[in-house]
């Protein structure tokens, strides 16, 4: 029987960033340095996944499956 790994909770740093982003949004403010840091981190994570998993090109198959009904 296959086991399913339980996903980890959000790391404290990610939760703090999320809370700060919500505060900024609610106040109608922006923080360019924060935005740049979060975008850079997202790009780093994307590249890490790309290196580990390779390019995932599933869009065409999903569109065909949806269009053709299965």
**CA triplet 52, 35, 12: central angle to 5 degrees?**
65
Answer whether 17's CB lies under 8 Å from 3's CB. no
- Give the predicted TM-score (pTM) of the model: 0.63
> Residue 24: which residues within 8 A CB-CB, separation 6 or more?
30, 31, 34
Please give the pLDDT value at position 15.
92
Q: What is the pLDDT along the chain (70 residues), one digit of tens a residue?
A: 566 666 678 889 999 999 999 999 999 999 999 999 999 999 999 999 899 988 877 788 888 888 887 5
């Amino acid at each position: 029987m296959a086991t399913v790994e339980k996903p980890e909770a959000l790391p404290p740093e990610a939760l703090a960033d999320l809370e700060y982003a919500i505060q900024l949004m609610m106040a109608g403010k922006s923080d360019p340095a924060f935005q740049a840091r979060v975008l850079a981190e997202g790009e780093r994570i994307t590249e890490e996944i790309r290196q580990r998993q390779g390019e995932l090109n599933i869009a065409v198959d999903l569109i065909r499956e949806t269009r053709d009904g299965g």
